[in-house]
């Protein structure tokens, strides 16, 4: 069998370093094939690091974020990347699907079929066994994250159907589709309590107060304790977006490793049988 291949589809440069970065670093080191698709140029991102808030940065945001992404992928050991370059739709507070509040030429307002076709071409050419993207709500309600889910889920189906997009390459059945998890309440509680126990200021207190009790959708946990340092360095490579003094680094990696050295995923669709909980995105595929 060909080397097992997981393709991660993200909305913006930096998303690959905050969602599943430890998993990618681990699998790249273990010899699996890992690729990243980035759908937008990230141009609408604010400068979130005070050290980068200087003349000329905002004007060169597309170029700078492209360079940041390349550096982050290098740190993670990911050598295959595909950038679609759609215009970043930007963050809209309380976004509820109203496309009229966004720029006409932005990613969210690009015809879905056009993006699906481009992604199907990449999937059929590169033949991943696993696709990873966001859950239906985008993980948080950014227009580009929501659309990223929609086009990836649609491409998962279309790539396998020889009657769909016949000019986009030979049909390919991706075996598994995953949604990368964010911060479940269980994870937040464990990290919050660990911070307090070590006399650290927890960045999660207010978040926990407003977080509802919902069912944890996690089906799959990847142990990434040995790769938290790479994940942090990849985040820091996105210097315009990541403040070294910000919440991402409020709890040291060694504390995270003690209490929650995992990245969480939800298995959304699969053509192979596996037992839950899984400890690998490739569960059920190793001997297929």
Same domain for 135 and 210, yes or no, is no
Give pLDDT tens digits for 31-54.
Answer: 999 999 999 999 999 999 999 999
Domain that holds residue 77: 5-181+217-251+261-270
| Number of folded domains that form the chain | 2
Residue 162 lies in a domain: yes
Answer yes or no: do 58 and 197 share one domain: no
Domain assignment present for 256: no
Q: Judge if 32 and 131 occupy the same domain.
A: yes
Mean pLDDT for 274-286 is: 95
More confident residue, 125 or 185: 125
Task: Please check whether residues 161 and 231 belong to one and the same domain.
Answer: yes
Mean pLDDT across the stretch 150-169? Answer: 98
Both 25 and 150 in a single domain? yes
Given this model, what pLDDT does residue 1 score?
52
Q: Are residues 140 and 202 in the same domain?
A: no
Quick one: pLDDT at residue 248? Answer: 87
Is residue 172 one of the residues assigned to a domain?
yes
How large is the average pLDDT for residues 223-232? 98
The reply to whether 241 and 146 lie within a common domain is: yes
Is residue 281 one of the residues assigned to a domain? no
For residue 204, being part of any structural domain is answered with yes
Look up the pTM and report it. 0.96
Q: Are residues 175 and 188 in the same domain?
A: no
Report the CATH number that the domain containing residue 130 is assigned in CATH: 3.40.50.10320
- Do 232 and 205 belong to one domain? no
Three-state secondary structure readout of the chain:
CCCCEEEEEECCCCHHHHCCHHHHHHHHHCCCEEEEEEEECCCCCCCCCHHHCCCCCHHHHHHHHHHHHHHHHHHHCCCEEEEEEEECCCCCCCCCCCHHHCCCCEHHHCCHHHHHHHHHHHHHHHCCCEEEECCCCCCCCCHHHHHHHHHHHHHHHHHCCCCCCHHHCCCCCCCEEEEECCCCHHHHHHHHHHHHHCCCCCCCHHHHHHCCCCCCCCCEEEECHHHHHHHHHHHHHCCCCCCCCCHHHCCCHHHHHHHCCEEEEEEEEECCCCCCCECCCCCCCCCC
Whether 170 is in a domain gets the answer yes
Same domain for 139 and 209? no
| 110 and 208 housed in the same domain | no
């Amino acid at each position: 069998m060909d080397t097992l291949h997981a393709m991660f589809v993200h909305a913006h440069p930096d998303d690959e370093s905050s969602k599943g970065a430890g998993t990618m670093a681990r699998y790249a080191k273990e010899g699996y094939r890992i690729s990243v698709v980035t759908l937008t140029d990230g141009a609408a991102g604010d400068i979130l690091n005070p050290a980068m808030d200087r003349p000329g940065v905002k004007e060169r945001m597309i170029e700078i974020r492209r360079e940041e992404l390349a550096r982050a992928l290098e740190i993670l050991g990911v050598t295959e990347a595909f950038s679609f370059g759609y215009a970043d739709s930007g963050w809209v507070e309380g976004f509820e699907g109203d496309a009229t509040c966004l720029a006409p030429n932005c990613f969210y307002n690009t015809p879905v079929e056009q993006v699906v076709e481009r992604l199907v071409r990449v999937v059929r050419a590169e033949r991943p066994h696993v696709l990873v993207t966001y859950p239906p709500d985008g993980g948080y309600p950014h227009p580009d994250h929501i659309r990223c889910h929609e086009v990836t889920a649609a491409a998962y189906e279309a790539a396998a159907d020889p009657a769909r997009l016949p000019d986009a390459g030979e049909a390919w059945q991706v075996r598994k589709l995953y949604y990368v998890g964010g911060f479940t309440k269980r994870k937040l509680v464990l990290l919050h309590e660990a911070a307090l126990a070590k006399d650290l200021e927890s960045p999660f207190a207010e978040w926990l107060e407003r977080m509802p009790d919902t069912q944890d959708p996690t089906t799959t946990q990847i142990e990434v304790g040995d790769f938290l340092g790479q994940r942090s360095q990849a985040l820091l490579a996105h210097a315009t977006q990541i403040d070294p003094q910000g919440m991402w680094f409020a709890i040291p990696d060694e504390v995270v490793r003690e209490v929650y050295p995992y990245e969480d995923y939800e298995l959304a669709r699969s053509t192979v049988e596996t037992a839950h909980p899984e400890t690998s995105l490739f569960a059920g595929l190793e001997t297929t």
